[in-house]
Amino acid sequence: MPYVEVKVFEERFEDETFAPRMVEAITRAVSSVIGDEAGGDATVIVEGVPRSRWGHGGKTMG
C-alpha cells in the first residue's frame, strides 16, 4: 500500500478544490508508475505549512 505525504504552503488551501485535485493527481501518478491496483490502495496526505516555518537556502520563506 503506497503512502505519499505532500507538504505545501498552507495558502494553497484557500482554493477548496486544491486538496481533492492534488490527491487525485498524486494517486494517478502512483498508478502510472506502479500499477492501477497499487494506486487504488494509495494513501495520500496533503499538509499545509506556513511560510514562516518553511526554510530554503538557510532562510525562512515567510
Q: Which pTM value belongs to this model?
A: 0.85
Task: Give the three cell numbers for residue 20.
Answer: 481533492
The residue whose grid cell reads 518553511 is 54
Write phi, then psi, for 45 (nearest 5 degrees).
Answer: -120, 125
**Per-residue model confidence (pLDDT) at position 39:** 84
Are the CB atoms for 27 and 21 separated by under 8 Å? no
**Per-residue model confidence (pLDDT) at position 31:** 94
**Per-residue model confidence (pLDDT) at position 16:** 97
Write phi, then psi, for 54 (nearest 5 degrees).
Answer: -115, 120
**Per-residue model confidence (pLDDT) at position 23:** 97
Residues of the chain under the 50 pLDDT cut: none
List beta partners, residue 14. Answer: none
